Amino acid sequence: MTIAEFQKTIEQIYLARDSERGLRGTFMWFIEEVGELSTALLHEDREEMEGEFADVFAWLVSIASIAGVDMNEAVRKYADGCPGCRQTPCRCSQKR
């Protein structure tokens, strides 16, 4: 599944409800999912991590949709390597 297909799928499943909740409310759910991902990473549970990564990505994509951002376009920021130095791997003097 491509990023564009995933965003469309998430919109079909959740956009109406998430739009009703609004950007701020949906963002708060996203933050909760990031916390759950943090816990999964600490436990080093592969299955739990995969599920939480999926949830975080789904909430992020939903927020983008509410904000009118096409994630397929947004990720192009990294198409030519690091946005700062344009190198792959990054050779910026600052750690990101």
Distance CA 27, CA 60 (A): 8
30-85 residue pLDDT tens = 999 999 999 999 999 999 999 999 999 999 999 999 999 999 999 999 999 999 99
Give which of 26, 17, 21 is closest to 64, Cα–Cα: 26
Q: What is the pLDDT of residue 84?
A: 93
Is residue 96 over pLDDT 70? Answer: no
Mean pLDDT for the stretch of residues 7-25: 97
- Which residues, 6 or more positions from 35, have their beta carbon under 8 angstroms from its beta carbon? none
State which H helix or E strand residue 24 sits in.
helix 3-43
Domains of the chain: 3-78 (1.10.287.1080)
The amino acid occupying position 71 is M
